[in-house]
Structure 1
């Protein structure tokens, strides 16, 4: 997993729960990297699992809720780091529609070895989109948070529902309908 995900996760933990919690989850996780991450490095996904699990235990918030919250945080961070990607869109539906053909292409240029989820578009209108998220990591709640924040970025909101097509969350159908 790319280091930028780890560095942003640590930033979220620090801003939401404090530096002491960051230190505690690093100590509790017994990480090969010792919790030292660079945004351009690549790290074992299991380190993220350990960090999130220990954060959940520490702050008494379910893992899925923390992953969703991280998705909200990550959209803002990535938007600040790469505003040119988001600025080329006029609506959140069009942004979501272009994940595979534009956004992930841009990410692959920056991080050639990034392992990204895939999004297969099933149906799109001006105010709705249905897609299948597929990832061996099952971080669909992260994707959900990113989607939610995309609507907020464009000063809108949406009803986002999802159905697990595989119980482990590696394949999930999202149905998104923009409000008013």
Structure 2
């Protein structure tokens, strides 16, 4: 028989409205998080040593210290159902395993929320873009039982993401 435990806690969802076109916002984000090569990231091919893994990871990081793991373009299929008025909508999953491990060493369940994800949505009026994200520290260390070390590590990720979004909004 399985045991089920539920924990309820508050998570912060942030919507940043950037007064720039969707394509500009996506281009700025892509310029800062490295894209996977056509052969895939290949990071897991370098597990023979921590040093080899870190070297491969560092080579895959963009200027703000993140790499893209996946991108989903929701706009075209949503339009088939008459959802969202044909606006562009893209979900991107990105992160950095070396940042993730600073949290995972305190609570392996942080792996549920790293890498992070963002939803980029063309505004209905066409005059800007909404960037929607859940604040990582509220997901990873939002419970009362979270240690101070876990909270501190998760807040470092929050700060790095804030700097990334400042760059994207320029």
Question: Normalising to structure 1: TM-score of the pair?
Answer: 0.27
Structure number with greater Rg is: 2
Question: Normalising to structure 2: TM-score of the pair?
Answer: 0.29
Judging by fraction of residues, say which structure has more strand: 2
Higher RCO (CA 8 Å, separation ≥ 6 residues): 2
